[in-house]
Structure 1
Amino acid sequence: MRSEPLVRMPPSLAPGATIALVSPASWSEPAQIEETAAIIESWGFRPLLGAHVHDRLGYLAGSDEDRLADLNDAIRDPTVRAIVCLRGGCGSFRLLRGIDGDGLELDPKPLVGYSDITALHRVWHQHGVPSLHGAVAGAHQRVVRDALAGGIPAAVTSDIRQFGAELTTRGRASGPLFGGNLEMLARSVGVLDFDLRGHVLLLEINRSAGLGHVDRALTQLTMAGALDGVVGVALGWLSGFEDYEDRGWTVIDVLRDRLGELGVPVLAGLPFGHDPNPLVAPLGVSCAIDADTGLATFSAAVK
């Protein structure tokens, strides 16, 4: 039996709704903060900047205490209807045990972000609140707006030209979608409980080191039992690995070896992850992947 709580669907955003902008990880340039706020305004929503979004402490957007305070303030503020993370980078992991999960359950609201923000998505998932793996940036930013307003994200087709698309297998799978950045998922083992039985696993991988870190991360998740019962894999961008080889192997070989042990359908070549124009994937709600037709479909993340 799955230990995940029942889904607590946030309400869709009405025109004029408030969206909090927070920096739980690395800092953003002022121009990026202003641009994100302007985009949200153009959607007909009201951006609310966290008190510490302009702070800097090394590569972090201020102290752990202040970044956590901004996030919890957004969770606890009844006027805030969604939370947008200004960027990933590094630092979200430090906040995990201080997040007001009870407050999130009492007033569920979607979180938007990807990369390092995967750590926060896991908290939302543990408390049964859907979230959006994506960014308020790029050519598909309106998809985020539509998802927050109650729209069902359009079906996504695998791109056979995308690096890694040849990892697609055969078969179909459906279940709640959860995942994100591979490195962050593996780092969360032992810190947050994992039970992904019955889930479709979303993976996007960016190269921060060699093939070994991909192998170690997938092996850690497997040996920890975090992937027990996963019914399928939706594989996004493999950023930075396109021309990388290590002793005759590429990341394709590593993934074919590691994911093959799961014995489930894999749909690769999906437009999720580290790219200037990422699409949004709703986490915590129903997803279906069809490796035979190359199609992934999703449910709405708000009601």
Structure 2
Amino acid sequence: MEATRLEPRTLVNGDMVAIVSPASWPEESVPAWIARQVESWGLHAVIAPHTLDRRGYLAGSDADRAADLNQAIRDPEIRAVIASVGGCGSFRLVPDVDVDALRADPKMLVGYSDITALHQVWNAAGVPTLHGAIAGAHGDHVRRLLMEDADTVVEADRGALSAELTTSGSVEGRLFGGNLEMLARSVGVVDFDVAGGILLLEINRAAGLGMVDRALTQLRYSGALDGVVGVALGSIDQFAGYEDRGWTIVDTLRDHFDALGVPVLGGLPLGHIEDLVTVPLGTAAVLDVDHGRLTVDSPSGD
């Protein structure tokens, strides 16, 4: 995996941030709440025209959602892009993202879950992203990532369900990944460049263990994970108490992780939890399994 080629600059007071809905529509109050949070940091927020549109479960048509996203990418005044919510629909925009404009003027994207599809586009373009959200107890860390050139240190909770999958060792590499299902769906659509990288996984219980198994099998058998050096595993607490013919989520994941044969650190507060920690993707990281810590370099440059 090559080092990140393009670094968005650190934001300063007065910079503009766009709020967009590339996937599902948010509740009406959400974009305004995000705007207030961003403006409390000294930034200016712009809510994209179609952020609150509704077309089934989508925030308006594909064309309108792509137009909002690309306008934010192309506007030199916009220095970062925040997704209002995940849900479903980001994957439909992958072919329409103006990657040339993104490379010409790198800017970070903030989001997680379904937004993983767009993280993959940014990753293929060599531009870092932020996997997470500004809500919750760690919301201010997004400000530090955007404005203070901050590093990120994530401590594992050894009592969490996913901590049962923790192994041993320590590895270094560029962090990439996100939602398991979206990563598997991206195979054959977005280029994977993961050799030497650390795989971040967040898994929500959208279905049973079979979906988890199929997604990991696709990633492994397609060669998408060839060269991965470690796994940083977020919360799987949604699966607590769930079994399928004698197996739990821990059994399913262990079967695949053993086949990868790399260090695994579970118990990380990442994914579909109330107080998730936001981490950069596409930057250098250290997965110190023995000490239960993931450290990620700043995503931006001056």
What TM-score bracket applies, with the shorter chain setting the length?
over 0.9
RMSD over aligned Cα, in angstroms? 1.0
Q: Which residue of 1 aligns with 2:159?
A: 161
Partner of residue 246, structure 2: 248
The residue number in structure 2 matching 1:71 is 69
Equivalent residue number for residue 302 of structure 1 = 300
TM alignment of 1:178-189, pairs within 5 A:
178-189=176-187
Quote how far apart the aligned CAs of 1:5 are.
Answer: 7.4
The answer to whether the 8 Å contact 2:132/2:277 transfers is yes
Give how far 1:37 is off.
Answer: 0.9
Letter in 1 for 2:187: V
Give, in whole Å, the separation in 2 of the partners of 1:187 and 1:154: 28
Q: What's 1:34 paired with?
A: 32
- Pairing 1:11–2:9 present: yes
Matching residue's letter, 2:206: S
Q: How many residues align?
A: 301
Q: What SS class does the counterpart of residue 240 from structure 1 fall into? A: helix
Secondary structure of the equivalent of 2:260?
Answer: coil
- Give the TM-score, by structure 1 length: 0.98
**Which amino acid in the other structure matches residue 66 of structure 1?**
D
- Pairing of 1:129-148 with structure 2 (within 5 A): 129-148=127-146
Matched to 2:96, the amino acid is G
- Secondary structure of the 1:84 match is strand
User: C-alpha separation between the residues in 2 aligned to 1:298 and 1:230?
Assistant: 16
CA distance in 1, matches of 2:4, 2:278: 22
SS at match of 1:41: helix
Secondary structure of 1:155's counterpart equals: strand
Equivalent residue of 1:59, what SS?
coil
1:6 Cα deviation (Å)? 4.5
Mapped partners of 2:253, 2:22: distance in 1:
30
What is the Cα deviation at residue 248 of structure 1? Answer: 0.6
Per-residue deviation, residues 117-141 of structure 1 (Å, max 9, x unmatched): 0000000000100000000211111
Is the contact made by 2:124 and 2:193 (CA closer than 8 Å) also made in structure 1?
A: no
* Cα offsets for 1:164-200 (capped at 9, x unmatched): 1110001111110000000000000111111210000
Map Cα deviations across residues 42-69 of structure 1 (whole Å, 9 max, x no partner): 1111001111011000100000000000
Partner of 2:210: 212
Range with bigger deviation, 152-161 or 109-118: 152-161
Q: Does the 8 A contact of 1:150 with 1:301 survive in 2?
A: no
Q: After superposition, what is the alpha-carbon deviation per residue over 1:276-303, rounded to whole angstroms, capped at 9, x for unaligned?
A: 1111110000000111111111100111
Q: Using the alignment, how far apart are the partners of 1:232 and 1:176 within structure 2?
A: 10
Q: Which runs of 5+ in 1 are unaligned?
A: none
User: Does the 8 A contact of 1:81 with 1:109 survive in 2?
Assistant: yes
In structure 2, distance between residues paired with 1:6 and 1:141: 25
Counterpart Cα distance in 2 of 1:253 and 1:277: 26
Give, as a single letter, the amino acid of the residue that structure 1 aligns with 2:15.
A
Could you tell me which of 123, 126, 145 is aligned with 1:125? 123
Matched with 1:289 is 287
Q: Which moved more, 1:34-43 or 1:175-184?
A: 34-43
What is the TM-score with the length of structure 2 in the denominator?
Answer: 0.98
Match of 2:201 in 1: 203
